[in-house]
């Protein structure tokens, strides 16, 4: 029975950690707040992807968007605030993960304490997700209607280029069949 409980706790903890990383197995810049630029929008689902713009994308396309100096300054302030809050949450999360790790290392795992600790970790993850979404909304609200339309267009053309690149790496739209093995 205790093995089942421990397995259940470990599984919930692993799922909670995995759920926080929408790109498992892909390296991320841990020094950048929020990791990769697409991480911000992927966690919220497809409908959010269409309306929200990662700050890195806005920054990389500031000339194409025609951002004003005031918009640039405001976006920079949003990002500074976000970065400070995100770093604080990362520290809290790391400390709580250490506590969870210690709880699970015990010969006899205290289920009540472990589940309470899991609740703390999940609450921090929710704070991080709320912070990310709030950040994306603030940046979106700083853009004009024309800039939002332009960002959608830029994103669509970037996706098309990525798809074409993937198709080329696979050998074109209709790659030739693999060679037949020769009989000896």
DSSP 88-153: HHHHHHHHHHHHHHHHHHSSS--HHHHHHHHHHHHHHHHHHHHHHHHHHHHHHHHS-HHHHHHHHH
Query: Using N-to-C axis directions, what is the helix angle for 2-20 and 111-142, rounded to 10°?
Result: 10
Alpha-carbon dihedral angle through residues 88, 92, 95, 96, given to the nearest 10 degrees: -160
Residue 174 maps to a domain: no
Say whether pLDDT at 36 is over 70. Answer: no
pLDDT more than 90, % of the chain: 55
Residue 168 maps to a domain: no
Query: How far is it, in rounded angstroms, from Cα 148 to Cα 114?
Result: 45
Specify whether the CB–CB gap between 148 and 140 falls below 8 A: yes
Residue 111 maps to a domain: yes
Say whether pLDDT at 38 is over 60. Answer: no
Number of domains, the chain: 1
Per residue in 79-94, pLDDT (tens digit) is 999 999 999 999 999 9
Residue 71 maps to a domain: yes
> Which residues form the domain of 92?
1-8+45-151
Q: How far is CA 20 from the centre of its chain?
A: 7
Residue 161 maps to a domain: no
Residue 19 maps to a domain: no
Say whether pLDDT at 103 is over 60. Answer: yes
Residue 119 maps to a domain: yes
* Average pLDDT of every residue of the chain: 79
Residue the block writes with tokens 């951002």: 67
Residue 103 maps to a domain: yes
What's the alpha-carbon Rg for the chain, to the nearest Å? Answer: 22
Say whether pLDDT at 20 is over 50. Answer: no
């Amino acid at each position: 029975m205790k093995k089942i409980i421990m397995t259940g706790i470990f599984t919930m903890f692993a799922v909670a950690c995995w759920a926080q990383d929408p790109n498992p197995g892909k390296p991320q810049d841990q020094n950048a707040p929020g990791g990769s630029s697409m991480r911000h929008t992927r966690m919220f689902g497809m409908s959010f992807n269409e309306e929200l713009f990662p700050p890195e994308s806005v920054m990389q396309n500031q000339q194409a968007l025609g951002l004003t100096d005031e918009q640039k300054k405001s976006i920079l302030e949003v990002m500074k605030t976000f970065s400070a809050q995100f770093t604080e949450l990362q520290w809290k999360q790391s400390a709580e993960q250490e506590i969870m790790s210690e709880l699970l290392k015990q010969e006899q795992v205290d289920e009540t304490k472990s589940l309470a600790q899991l609740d703390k970790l999940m609450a921090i993850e929710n704070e991080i997700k709320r912070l990310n979404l709030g950040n994306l909304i603030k940046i979106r609200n700083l853009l004009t209607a024309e800039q939002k339309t332009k960002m959608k267009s830029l994103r669509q053309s970037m996706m098309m280029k990525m798809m074409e690149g993937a198709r080329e790496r696979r050998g074109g739209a209709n790659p030739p069949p693999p060679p037949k093995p020769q009989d000896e």
